[in-house]
Amino acid sequence: MEHRARKRFGQNFLTDKSLIQRIVNTINPAAGELILEIGPGQAAISKPLAESGAELHLLEIDRDLVARLKLIFEPMGLAKVHQGDALKMDYSDIVQNRAFRLVGNLPYNISTPLIFHVLQWNEQVIDMHFMLQQEVVRRMAAEPGGKAWGKLSVMCQYYCEVAPLFNVPPEAFSPAPKVESMFVRLVPHRQPPVAVGDMTLFERLVSQAFSMRRKTLRNCLRGMLDAEQIESCGIDPGARPETLGLEQFAALTRRLEGIH
């Protein structure tokens, strides 16, 4: 029976065969590698990934699709299928403490929180290849000073090197999404690019800084750091948060921790 795409699960299935091939060639899976695919759907990329001989794990939320995927992949031992919510799942339950690669044509309705969630496994992840809305990739790869630069850019670039790879038009999917898409690679840094210390504080500070983009840092960081403390990091308290780079957010965090 035909599967009807479910909007609530952000289901837009890849149908363009040459694009699927391009994606798999870009991922370049190899026998023996441990690969976790988020949202395999109707297995458009899962099949070629399994054919590479990689140890493939598929994590899908939709129980109907899970039942189908199990029929396709499990009898021959081509992949292991897991039913669950990729936003809540502890991936260590699947990969234990092994190094793994992460791939997925992600559900666009939850893409930003999902990116924040997967960054937790940064130290174990070899690389990540995702299909996302072009606009989200633009934010991930943005530079300070523009509108696209925000918490997503800071966190992604703290953890990873972000490489936008190629654009994908809506017609490559069925049903076609309303937005343009882009395929992106993230490779975790083995050494963080800046010294932060307490990551929880860093995240809080970055969130607070960008919560009022039009205000000055002095106002945005009220309750965390005063003008004098901001200035002691060599940063103008009258500046807008979007003009600060990674190193400056790190310096403010160190100041907040009192280890400046």
Pairing of strands 173-174, 13-14: antiparallel
Rule CB under 6 A: say whether 181 interacts with ligand SAM: no
Counting contacts by CB under 6 A, is residue 237 touching ligand SAM?
A: no
- The type of residue at 221 is L
Binding span for ligand SAM by CB under 6 A among 11-19, 164-172, 191-199, 226-234: 11-19
Nearest distance in Å: CB 115, ligand SAM: 13
Are 76 and 15 in contact, with CB atoms under 8 Å apart?
no
Binding to ligand SAM by CB under 6 A, coded x per residue (else -) over 73-92, reads: ------------xxx-----
Q: Does the footprint of ligand SAM cover residue 14 (CB under 6 A)?
A: yes
Question: Is the Cα torsion angle 35, 155, 165, 62 positive or negative in sign?
Answer: positive
Q: Which residues contact 29 (CB under 8 A, 6 or more apart)?
A: 35, 49, 52, 54, 101
**Site for ligand SAM (CB under 6 A): which residue of 19, 45, 128, 132?**
45
DSSP codes, 16-47: -HHHHHHHHHHH---TT-EEEEE--TTTTTHH
What distance in Å separates the CA atoms of residue 90 and residue 97, rounded to the nearest whole number? Answer: 12
CB of 85 to ligand SAM, least distance (A): 4
- Please state whether the peptide bond connecting residue 48 to the residue before it is cis, i.e. omega within 30 degrees of 0: no
Candidates 58-66, 161-169, 197-205, 227-235: pick the segment binding ligand SAM (CB under 6 A). 58-66
A 10 A CB-CB count for 224 gives 17
Q: Is 41 in the site for ligand SAM (CB under 6 A)?
A: yes
The two tokens of residue 30 are 């190899």
172 interacts with ligand SAM by CB under 6 A: no
Does the footprint of ligand SAM cover residue 69 (CB under 6 A)?
no
Cβ-based nearer residue to ligand SAM, 12 or 253 = 12
Nearest-approach distance from CB 21 to ligand SAM, in angstroms: 13
**Residue 60 or 242: which CB sits closer to ligand SAM?**
60
Least CB distance from residue 62 to ligand SAM, whole Å?
4
Residue (113 or 146) nearer to ligand SAM, CB = 113
> Is 61 a residue that touches ligand SAM (CB under 6 A)?
yes
For residues 102 and 187, is the Cβ–Cβ distance under 8 A? no
The region that residue 144 occupies, defined by phi over 0 for left and psi between -120 and 50 for alpha, beta otherwise, is: beta
Q: Which residues would be at the binding site for ligand SAM (CB under 6 A)?
A: 9-14, 38-42, 44-45, 59-62, 65, 85-87, 105, 107, 110
